[in-house]
């Protein structure tokens, strides 16, 4: 089983739609969780951290379920500019922080 798993998609949605991505992780000792965004042929950039209580940043909501070992990202009112690949990142703990990336979920928002 891969350490971090995501549905690669693509998710093809119209502008204004709400879309949700899930990500599962295998290491129950993982402590830090993030969502990154990667545009085509560019480096990943931090979108938001994921906190145990859930957190929101504008149209984006991230949630963590430690019992089931998954995190989610919800995007409301999708914009064309949201089209990108969304990477789930889990950091191992115990000594060195090692960011482990999921394969990414591709989102295409169309007019």
Closest separation in Å from C-beta 25 to another protein: 14
Determine the Cα–Cα distance for residues 4 and 42; give it in Å rounded to an integer.
Answer: 21
Tell the residue number behind the tokens 């739609």, with chain if given: 17
Give, as ranges, the residues between 78 and 97 that touch another protein (CB under 8 A). Answer: 87, 89, 96-97
Tell the residue number behind the tokens 């984006």, with chain if given: 60
Q: Is there binding between residue 55 and another protein (CB under 8 A)?
A: no
Closest separation in Å from C-beta 16 to another protein: 28
Task: Kindly list the residues in this chain that would bind another protein in the complex (CB under 8 A).
Answer: 32, 34, 41-46, 49, 87, 89, 96-104
């Amino acid at each position: 089983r891969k350490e971090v798993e995501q549905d690669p998609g693509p998710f093809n949605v119209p502008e204004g739609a709400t879309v949700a991505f899930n990500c599962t992780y295998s290491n129950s000792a993982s402590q830090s969780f993030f969502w990154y965004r990667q545009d085509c042929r560019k480096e990943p950039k931090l979108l938001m951290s994921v906190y145990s209580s859930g957190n929101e940043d504008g149209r984006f909501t991230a949630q963590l379920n430690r019992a089931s070992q998954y995190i989610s990202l919800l995007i409301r009112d999708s914009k064309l500019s949201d089209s990108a690949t969304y990477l789930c990142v889990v950091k191992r703990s115990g000594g060195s922080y090692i960011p482990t990336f999921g394969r990414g979920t591709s989102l295409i928002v169309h007019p």
